[in-house]
Amino acid sequence: MSESNEKKRGFWSEMIYNNPVFGLYLGICSTLAITTTLNNAIGMGIAVIFVLTISNIVISLIAPLTPDEIHIPVYIVVIATLVTVVGMLMQAFTPELYSTLGTFIDLIVVNCIILGRAEAYACSHNVAESARDGLMMGLSYTFSLLAMSLIRQILGSGVLELSNPMTNQVLFSLRLIPSGFEIPVFTTQTGAFLTFAVLAAGVAAIKNSDEKKAAAAAKAKADAAKAAAKAAAASAAKAKEAA
C-alpha cells in the first residue's frame, strides 16, 4: 500500500473509527445540545480545534517540568486559559454565536475529550505529535457536530442554511423539504438522541464489519501458512524416502 493510501486510511480511521463522539462516546452533552444548526456546529468545532491543538502543544512542553501530584490541576488551568481566550474572541467578533452557544463554550474546560487527550497523549509525546493529535481529534469532533447538525437542521426545518457568524448575513439558504413536511422533533433533544443513536449505530456496524473481515483475513493467512507447512513436510518426507 502506498504512503498516500496509508495516510488516507489513517485520516478516515480517526474521523470515523476513533471518532470521540460516535466511537468513544466522549463530549456527548455539548454535541446533543448545540447541533441544531450548521452555524452552531462550525462555531463550536473551531473553538474545540483551537483549544485541543494549543493545549496539547503547551502540555507537551510543560509535562516534563510538572510534578505528578499536580499535573491534572495544571492541565486544567492551561485549558481554562485557552477557553477564556476563545470565549473573549467570540464575544468580541461573533456575539450572536457566542450568545447561542452560551455556557457550552465555558464547558469546554471540562470536556473529557480535551483533558483526556492531554492526559493520555500530549503529556508523553513530543510537540509535533501532540499538535497533530489535537488537530485530528478536533477535526473528528467537528465532523461529528457537522453530521448531526446537517441531519437535524434539514429534517427539523427543511432548510439547509449557513450564515456569516460575524455579520449574521445569510450565505446560502436552500429548502430541501417542502414546507409542512418537516419533522419538528429533530429540533428538540429527543431528535438529538435519535440522530446520535443512528449515527453511533452506523459507526459500530462499520467497526464490526471491518473486525470480521480482518479476523477472516487473519484466519485465511494462518490456514495458508499451515497448508504450506504441511506441504513442505510432505515434500521433505518424500525426498527422504527417495534417498
Can you spell out the DSSP letters for 196-208? Answer: HHHHHHHHHHHHH
Instruction: For residue 193, give the nearest of 31, 58, 15 by alpha carbon.
Output: 31
Percent of the chain with pLDDT over 90: 43
CB-CB neighbours of 134 under 10 Å: 28
The domains of the chain are located at: 3-207
Q: Which helix (H) or strand (E) holds 189?
A: helix 189-242
Dihedral angle over CA of 86, 87, 91, 96, nearest 10:
100
CA dihedral sign, ordered 129, 132, 138, 143: negative
What rounded mean pLDDT belongs to the chain? Answer: 86
Q: Dump the DSSP string for 120-148.
A: HTGGGS-HHHHHHHHHHHHHHHHHHHHHH
Span 33-83, pLDDT tens digits = 899 999 999 999 999 999 999 999 999 999 999 898 898 899 999 999 999
Span 215-241, pLDDT tens digits = 988 888 888 888 888 887 777 777 777
**3-state class of 173 per DSSP?**
strand
pLDDT of residue 30: 85
DSSP type of residue 191? H
Residue 203 CB-half CA count within 13 A: 23
Each as own residue / partner, the long-range contacts of residues 62-69 (CB below 8 Å, 24 or more positions apart, any chain) are 63/122, 63/123, 63/124
